[in-house]
Amino acid sequence: MSDKKEFYIGYLPKAPKGISRFTAVAILMFFLLLVASAYVVVSNQTTINNGSFEYGELTEVEGLIYMGPQPFIKVIDGKDINGEPVFKNILLINFGKFGATSSLEKIKSKIALTFDRVYVKLRGTLIYHNGVTLLELTENENSYISYRPLVDKSLYSKDIRKLGSQTLTGEIIDPKCYFGSMKPGEGKPHKSCAGLCISGGIPPMYVVKNDQGLADYYLIMGENGERLKDEVIPYVSDVTTLSGKVETLDEWKVVYVNPANIKRTK
Amino acid sequence: MSVNYAGILWNRQKKIYDWILFFFVLAYLGAYIGLTSTFAPEITAETMIIRATATLALLLLHIILMIGPLARLNSKFLPMLYNRRHLGVTMFLVALVHGIFSILQFHSLGDKVALVSLFTSNGNYAALTEFPFQVLGFFALIIFFLMAATSHDFWLKNLSPRVWKSLHMMVYVAYALIIMHVMLGIVQFESHPFLYGFLMVGMMIIIALHFASSVKSGRGLDLKSAPGFYHACNVEDIADDCAKIVTLNGESIAIFKYDGKLSAISNVCKHQNGPLGEGKVVDGCVTCPWHGYQYEPHNGTSPPPFTEKVSTYRLKLEEEKVFVNPDPLPEGTALDPVLTEG
């Protein structure tokens, strides 16, 4: 039987020889197509940053807790040669897609003292990228370990500097995903997740990148210092322009905006 | 063989098919993970799973949609079509992993129920580029689920072949949803041209193959009419034990030549609407290329004990010209074959 006359019937035990050979070649071609596709897709992923989320690894951190403008723990590690304290402000968030305010309120009730009088030791999962650090209170209020009195009350302060009004172009992100818990934690694929995170109380932030890809990060607050959630969610992950007064609180930048003036630029 | 159902019948060809498919899935996922560890080691495991399963399901979907027209254009592709339903179920399972991981990653552990978040966390339904693309993937997954869940002949029997086929033609709706899911999702972010280019080339290949197979099936041909009969072809146009397919007045008709005779029956198999005219006369019976269902050419009836029947059509032969009357006779109506030789 020549190849031209061959006819395949699936329930017969063997396929005709010519068809078997053809099928083997076709399968090989499809296989090469699959592997080539995998190579092209994988090797062209250009938007994965090198943020870290220390999943499964809890770290103990002791510092001063601030509830505003967003929850922070300020870790103080001695003083530098000028006698100035060496510190780092770590943004606090809860497990999942929630902000840390509720957990900190419960911790405050537990220790029965205001946060301006104590060092608090917490346990959580570190998230960090490009000099920005967050601590996920993985066990929520149970992340609290202990406290000790703050002797030098002057340490409970932040250095505030006003930088005037600025117009910025960038992207609204949720910092938990952006700085390491998801990659990518920005752009269209992450849009709804970022909206859900901000809806749950994770502070919205603004990423401004220059032509060289270097980024500046800003906490976004309302014009009067109020926390923003639903007002900014529609603009999450889009390229936008916003204007407002900018301040530095220690090493963090904050932009105070009227959300009605946020504009998409594409 | 009959349109009935039983436990899945595992024959040798199906086992070979499934082993190759299993190898394909493992090989692709292995290649993706291996390449990721080289080119993008900083990626998280969740993102890797989401992307690996997404691209695999997309590739399998393209292969599934290409096999049908490829088998019509060249019958040597029939072995790939024979067990396509297992390929479809596999594609659904891979897409399901993608969907579950995506919902867990992007929509769980928040202040909304995950499925509520899927529809509401991005509310920009009125905009194109900001459109919540994940919703499109969700609806495509629902269609794939319905198709996978009804892939067994139990459902073919109980839904009726017509309803079953209509349901499974929804794959084209799902394909359109998936194209938009990708275009309005990752393509808006990963801006390199390869993914977009692959998607467009894949879509053009699928459209071109469907168009070519449609032309081969005789659709759109300008046929000259005779009283009640239409000129279909010449006798020499039909190979021995094979058929010429024509479509007239909405009737898809297969005209078979066998043992010096001509008979015309419906081109639509009773099993899964397979193209009988692309089959062959084997042991005196028209044999469907898809799953081997058989019909006697002169009466359109399956040989006992099977009970399927298809319509037959009147033929006339004038010299070398074959004419067909497109009015279908009741299913199973016996007609004397037209003799092509003395």
What does the radius of gyration of chain B's CA atoms come to, in whole angstroms? 24
Is B176 within the bounds of a domain? Answer: yes
Distances, alpha carbon B101 to alpha carbons B49, B53, B119, B293, in Å? 8, 10, 16, 41
pLDDT (tens digit, 9 = 90+) per residue, B38-83?
888 888 889 999 999 999 999 999 999 999 899 888 888 888 888 8
Residues B72, B110 share a domain: yes
Q: Is the Cβ pair A38, B122 closer than 8 Å?
A: no
Q: Which residues share a beta bridge with A119?
A: A148
Distances, alpha carbon B328 to alpha carbons B221, B312, B331, in Å? 19, 6, 8
pLDDT (tens digit, 9 = 90+) per residue, A198-232?
999 999 999 999 888 789 999 999 999 999 999 99
* Residue owning tokens 């024959």: B11
Look at A197 and B233; give whichever has higher pLDDT. Answer: A197
Q: What angle do CA A163, A166, A167 make, to 5 degrees?
A: 160
Q: Is the Cβ pair B40, A23 closer than 8 Å?
A: no
Helix or strand or coil: residue B146? helix
Q: Is the Cβ pair A192, B134 closer than 8 Å?
A: yes
Is B3 within the bounds of a domain? Answer: no
- pTM for this model (two decimals): 0.84
Instruction: Identify the CATH number of the domain in which residue B105 sits.
Output: 1.20.120
Helix or strand or coil: residue B197? helix
Residues B316, B241 share a domain: yes
Yes or no: say if B118 and B134 are a contact pair by the CB < 8 Å rule: yes
Residue B218's pLDDT is 60
Yes or no: say if B283 and B273 are a contact pair by the CB < 8 Å rule: no
Assess whether pLDDT exceeds 60 at residue B210. yes
Residues B241, B175 share a domain: no
What residues make up the domain containing B235? 225-339
Closest CA of chain B from A258, distance in Å: 21
Is B6 within the bounds of a domain? Answer: no
A2 confidence band (pLDDT: 50, 70, 90) = very low
pLDDT (tens digit, 9 = 90+) per residue, A112-165?
999 999 999 999 999 999 999 999 999 999 999 999 999 988 889 999 999 999
Task: Write the ipTM.
Answer: 0.90
Is B300 within the bounds of a domain? Answer: yes
Residue A266's pLDDT is 64
Residue B8's pLDDT is 53
Q: For chain A, positions 50-89, list CB contacts with chain B under 8 A.
A: 50, 53
**Amino acid identity, position A84:** E
Round to whole Å and give the CA distance between A178 and A218.
13
Is B5 within the bounds of a domain? Answer: no
Residues B78, B29 share a domain: yes
- If you measure CA to CA, which chain A residue comes closest to B76? A19
Q: Is the Cβ pair B55, A199 closer than 8 Å?
A: no
Residues B254, B212 share a domain: no
- If you measure CA to CA, which chain A residue comes closest to B56? A34
Residues of chain A above pLDDT 90, percent: 70
Round to whole Å and give the CA distance between B277 and B265.
9
Distances, alpha carbon B145 to alpha carbons A28, A178, B56, B171, B178, in Å? 29, 33, 17, 11, 14
Distances, alpha carbon A44 to alpha carbons A196, B27, B40, B59, B195, in Å? 28, 20, 9, 17, 9
Q: Does B51 touch chain A (CB under 8 A)?
A: yes
Q: Is the Cβ pair A234, B282 closer than 8 Å?
A: no
Mutation target to probe the A interface, by most A beta carbons within 10 A, among B58, B106, B125 is B106
pLDDT (tens digit, 9 = 90+) per residue, B10-24?
788 888 999 999 999
Average pLDDT over residues A88-94: 97
Architecture of domain A160-264: Beta Barrel (2.40)
Assess whether pLDDT exceeds 60 at residue A70. yes
Q: Is the Cβ pair A43, B39 closer than 8 Å?
A: yes
Instruction: Identify the CATH number of the domain in which residue B242 sits.
Output: 2.102.10.10
Residues B192, B256 share a domain: no
Centre a 10 Å sphere on the Cβ of residue A165 and count the other Cβ atoms it contains. Answer: 11
Residues B185, B212 share a domain: yes
Residues B252, B207 share a domain: no
Round to whole Å and give the CA distance between B45 and B172.
31
Overall residue count recorded for chain B in this entry = 342
Q: Does B188 touch chain A (CB under 8 A)?
A: yes
CATH 2.40.50 range(s) for chain A read: 52-155, 160-264
Contacts of A1 (CB under 8 A, 6+ apart): A16
Distances, alpha carbon A220 to alpha carbons A165, A173, A207, B16, B289, in Å? 14, 10, 10, 59, 64
* Alpha helix stretches (DSSP H) within chain A: 17-43, 101-111, 175-176, 191-199
pLDDT (tens digit, 9 = 90+) per residue, B162-187?
788 889 999 999 999 999 999 999 98
Q: Does A1 touch chain B (CB under 8 A)?
A: no
Q: Does B20 touch chain A (CB under 8 A)?
A: yes
Half-sphere exposure of B150 (CA within 13 A, CB side): 22
Average pLDDT taken over every residue of chain A: 92
Residue B221's pLDDT is 47
- If you measure CA to CA, which chain A residue comes closest to B278? A7
Architecture of domain A52-155: Beta Barrel (2.40)
Domain final residue pick, B182, B216, B250: B216
Domain final residue pick, B216, B245, B264: B216
- If you measure CA to CA, which chain A residue comes closest to B75? A7
Is B1 within the bounds of a domain? Answer: no
Nearest by CB to B122, which of A26, A48, A191? A191
Round to whole Å and give the CA distance between B218 and B10.
35
Assess whether pLDDT exceeds 70 at residue B5. no
Yes or no: say if A64 and A150 are a contact pair by the CB < 8 Å rule: yes
pLDDT (tens digit, 9 = 90+) per residue, B275-331?
999 999 999 999 999 889 999 999 999 999 899 999 999 999 888 889 899 899 999
Structure tokens at B296: 């006697």
Residues B88, B129 share a domain: yes
Nearest by CB to A10, which of B190, B191, B292? B292
Structure tokens at A130: 């490009």
Assess whether pLDDT exceeds 90 at residue A173. yes
Centre a 10 Å sphere on the Cβ of residue B307 and count the other Cβ atoms it contains. Answer: 12
Residues B193, B76 share a domain: yes
Residues B92, B75 share a domain: yes
In B15-103 the beta strands, taken as DSSP E runs, fall at none
Round to whole Å and give the CA distance between A265 and A172.
13
Q: How many domains does chain B have?
A: 2
Look at B81 and B5; give whichever has higher pLDDT. Answer: B81
Q: Does A28 touch chain B (CB under 8 A)?
A: no
Closest CA of chain B from A205, distance in Å: 17
Yes or no: say if B142 and B170 are a contact pair by the CB < 8 Å rule: no
- If you measure CA to CA, which chain A residue comes closest to B280? A7
Residue B340's pLDDT is 85
Residues B187, B247 share a domain: no
Domain final residue pick, B216, B239, B257: B216
